[in-house]
Amino acid sequence: MRGSSILQMIIAGVIVSAITYGIIIPLLQSNRVEDSVIMEAYLPPFASIAPAPTPPSSHVSQQPISTIERQMSNSFIIIDSHLRYITYVELESLSLWQLTVARNEIFARHGRIFVREDLRIHFESTSWYNGHVLPDDFSFDILNNFERANIDLIQEWERKRQ
């Protein structure tokens, strides 16, 4: 009897955590990388794909926290591409520019400085970017598996859009 109540408590905890964090992990089949099956943490599209970025306001520090957080999330195309595998569905509606920004967000999170003027201007206008690594000094070794897979997938879509 005691073992079953512990198991029930564990199951209840897992369910509460899943509901609290909005995490659903579907098993999706991918046609890339030798038709392998990839586990993907799914977030609703509105949580991961933000509208076109807007430059931060000069009065940001006077705004409530929720507004600051909203502005920061609006400066990303895919806010969590470093934490999960992105999906084809998320990319199919993005323009070539949005795909390029989404791919380079991954590098920007690691402080890569951009030579390409449009990317440099874009990322310097965000509140979160801190460019400190020269392109020649940037190492792909610091990227995690999510980031590497997401870069490959985004590049595939960029080639389709060109």
User: In this structure, are 83 and 140 located in the same domain?
Assistant: yes
Q: For position 145, which CATH number holds?
A: 1.20.58.1690
User: In this structure, are 27 and 58 located in the same domain?
Assistant: no
Rounded to 5 degrees, φ, ψ at 69 are -60, -40
User: In this structure, are 3 and 18 located in the same domain?
Assistant: yes
Question: How many domains are there within the chain?
Answer: 2
Q: Are 32 and 156 in contact (CB under 8 A)?
A: yes
User: In this structure, are 62 and 123 located in the same domain?
Assistant: yes
Helical pair 96-109 and 117-124, crossing angle rounded to 10 deg? 60
Question: Distance between CA atoms of 84 and 103, rounded to whole angstroms?
Answer: 14
User: In this structure, are 37 and 48 located in the same domain?
Assistant: no
Q: Which residue in the block uniquely carries the two structure tokens 């999170």? A: 109
- pLDDT per residue as tens digits for the range 46-74: 334 444 444 444 433 444 444 444 445 56
Per the model's pLDDT, the better-predicted residue between 99 and 43 turns out to be 99
The first and second tokens of residue 148, run together, are 């590497």
User: In this structure, are 66 and 5 located in the same domain?
Assistant: no
The first and second tokens of residue 136, run together, are 């020649």
Tell me the whole-structure pTM to 2 decimals: 0.57
Among the ranges given (3-12, 26-35, 62-71, 130-139), the one the predictor scored with the smallest mean pLDDT: 26-35
Question: 26: closest CA among 40, 37, 45?
Answer: 40
Domain span holding position 129: 44-161
User: In this structure, are 31 and 95 located in the same domain?
Assistant: no
User: In this structure, are 51 and 13 located in the same domain?
Assistant: no
